[in-house]
Amino acid sequence: MGFSTQDVIRGLFGVDTTPNKNPLTNSVGVTAVKILSNNPKRMSVLIQNLSANTVYIGLKPDVSNINGILLAANGGSITLQYDKDFQLVTNEMYAIASGAASSILVLENNIIRGF
């Protein structure tokens, strides 16, 4: 009988995890909005810009085009993982866009039990 991905994760890390889609919002506008809350159980996150507008993400509500990470229009993305980005992956994050109603996708992977 084969192993599932969850079996492998449990064997390697001693935890169970679950994905979560768009935990706070799936749309960003011209005013900064929180897209992720602080979550010490987050192991990874993918944020993708699905809109035709430019999106910037940052750790504080003052995120802007000169104070943020650029997610290019039509698919720009960033992935953060605990083993490469350390506690950065657990921080709250904000986003702002160059146009209203800019669609984003946020996928996080959280520990649900273990340790």
Token pair for 60: 């504080």
- The pLDDT tens digits for 56-101 are 999 999 999 999 999 999 999 999 999 999 999 999 999 999 999 9
CATH no. for residue 39?
2.60.120.770
Q: Report pTM.
A: 0.92
Token pair for 6: 């969850």
- The pLDDT tens digits for 18-64 are 999 999 999 999 999 999 999 999 999 999 999 999 999 999 999 99
What CA–CA distance (Å, rounded) separates 109 from 93?
15
Contact 82, 29 (CB under 8 A): no
Range of the domain at 27: 16-114
Quote the number of domains for the chain: 1
Within a domain: 5: no
Within a domain: 6: no
Residue 2's pLDDT is 79
Within a domain: 43: yes
